[in-house]
Structure 1
Amino acid sequence: MAQQGILIVISGPSGTGKGTICRELLRSNPHLKYSISATTRPPRVGEVDGVNYLFIGKNQFTTMIDNGELLEWAEVYGNFYGTPRHYVLDQLNNGYDVVLEIDTQGAMKVKDNFPQGVFVYIIPPSLDELADRIYKRGTDSLDAIQNRLNCASGELSLAHNYHYIVVNDQVAAAVQKVETIITAEKYRAERNTDLIDSLCHTKCTCNEHWVPSSK
């Protein structure tokens, strides 16, 4: 029987590069799947249903909430976003690892509903470096950048709720750290109880008259 996959939840303040890390993980690990969020907002230009998001109506989203079909959900600017439980569990049961990139609030909801997940928090080398990265993106005003930095300070105070902290000083190094975490998690004793039980209940078929050779 294949070992059940691992759910890896990755969070971090805006600008830390968590999205880049996730893309690199997916590119280099064919055994890793990405959890696509469901949303009630309309698709933007270039977005594809089932690739970028699962685009659904509010009534369907509400039904999913009522039926416990979401690992987490939130309302943002009048639209709903959530993580479908069915897709994640199906992939895990088929032996695939699943990565979920999500904010801290959503991650803590996932942790309540799926505590066996692995929670990784990405941080920048410094707030100055974080500000420089956001500024270089060229997508935010100075006021927006300052607001993001203020939010980052608050989010960083919640990092102790995660299992691992990874500093993204260089993307390749950060990706390697996360890959090391995933590998180590696969060898945790509680993830290998079936293997131990199988060994304990397997009858040895060696020759009962076998005598070890003397040295």
Structure 2
Amino acid sequence: MPPSPSRRGLLLILSSPSGAGKSTLARRLMDWDPAIRFSVSATTRAPRPGEVEGREYYFKPRAEFEAMVAGGQMLEHAEVFGNLYGSPRAPVEAAMAEGRDTLFDIDWQGGQQIRNSALGRDVVSVFILPPSITELDRRLRARGQDSEEVIRGRMAKSQAEISHWAEYDYVLVNDDLEETFARLLKVLEAERMRRDRQPGLSDFVRGLNREFEAR
């Protein structure tokens, strides 16, 4: 569906413990609506073979990244293994002005920073829970991507991540992917229709009142 210039775009944050289905839901959402912009992070690490500027990351020298943080040009940022990562503000604001939504696939810490940013009132946050810890472990193993040590590390981190569920606007239990995706679409469609996200409504209602006066 095309973006609507009469509606201000929103910031949709998806968070979950690893293996709960967040990234799969994010991909499904962008397939459903290609106008949704995925937030590409900036980083100070060097590009890896095959990575393209602006597709995987915006690659920045550390001094430039730190200057962006100091100037309020990052919605959120963190240091991971000696490299800085963050979400640039300018592309998000440009998408909002075009009536396009921006999707963030980030953890609770990044989500918290964005909710506390200047664009916090435009945030819709959704936390994805697994149906059980046993199922979460099974999904991680079924991917066949990680070693036993990595899986144990992800499971150990999951409890701390899940403890932040109450900070989110919506919480979905991903017991069935199709049903969870359907619920996620209902959240997005309802939030898009919020009165304060439709700046053209005031002019429309004024027009209705002029019709009353002209009768």
Give your verdict on TM over 0.5.
yes
Structure 1: tracts of 5 or more residues without a match: 209-215
> Match for 1:186 among 180, 189, 192?
192
1:71 aligns with 2:75: yes
Would the aligned equivalents of 2:8 and 2:199 in 1 still touch at CA under 8 Å?
no
1:36 aligns with 2:43: no
After TM superposition, list the pairs within 5 Å mapping 1:115-126 onto structure 2. Answer: 115-116=120-121, 117-126=123-132
Q: Which residue of 2 aligns with 1:154?
A: 160
Give the TM-score normalised by structure 1.
0.90
AA matched with 1:15: G
> Match for 2:29 among 25, 29, 43?
25
TM-superposed CA distance for 1:145, in Å, is 1.6
TM-superposed CA distance for 1:193, in Å, is 5.7
Would the aligned equivalents of 2:15 and 2:108 in 1 still touch at CA under 8 Å?
yes
Would the aligned equivalents of 2:45 and 2:84 in 1 still touch at CA under 8 Å?
yes
AA matched with 1:41: R
> Match for 2:97 among 93, 96, 104?
93
Q: Which residue of 2 aligns with 1:213?
A: none
Structure 2: tracts of 5 or more residues without a match: none
Q: Which residue of 2 aligns with 1:2?
A: 6
AA matched with 2:182: Q
What is the RMSD computed on CA atoms of the aligned residues? 1.8
Taking every aligned residue pair, what percent have the same amino acid on both sides? 36
TM-superposed CA distance for 1:144, in Å, is 2.4
Partner Cα separation in structure 2 for residue 206 and residue 3 of structure 1: 28
1:16 aligns with 2:23: no
AA matched with 2:211: C
AA matched with 1:65: V
After TM superposition, list the pairs within 5 Å mapping 1:200-215 onto structure 2. Answer: 200=206, 202-204=209-211, 208=215
Bigger mean CA deviation after superposition, 136-145 or 154-163: 136-145
Q: Which residue of 1 aligns with 2:171?
A: 165
AA matched with 2:129: I
Q: Which residue of 2 aligns with 1:212?
A: none
- 1:80 counterpart SS class: strand
- 1:121 counterpart SS class: strand
Partner Cα separation in structure 1 for residue 214 and residue 157 of structure 2: 67
Name the larger-Rg structure.
Answer: 1
Please list the CA deviations of residues 56-112 of structure 1 after superposition, one character each: whole Å capped at 9, or x if unmatched. Answer: 111110111111100000000000000000000110111001111111101000000
Partner Cα separation in structure 1 for residue 133 and residue 99 of structure 2: 38
Q: Which residue of 1 aligns with 2:133?
A: 127
Please list the CA deviations of residues 21-47 of structure 1 after superposition, one character each: whole Å capped at 9, or x if unmatched. Answer: 111111120221111110111122322
- 2:13 counterpart SS class: strand
1:175 aligns with 2:181: yes
The size of the alignment, in residue pairs, is 208
Bigger mean CA deviation after superposition, 192-201 or 174-183: 192-201
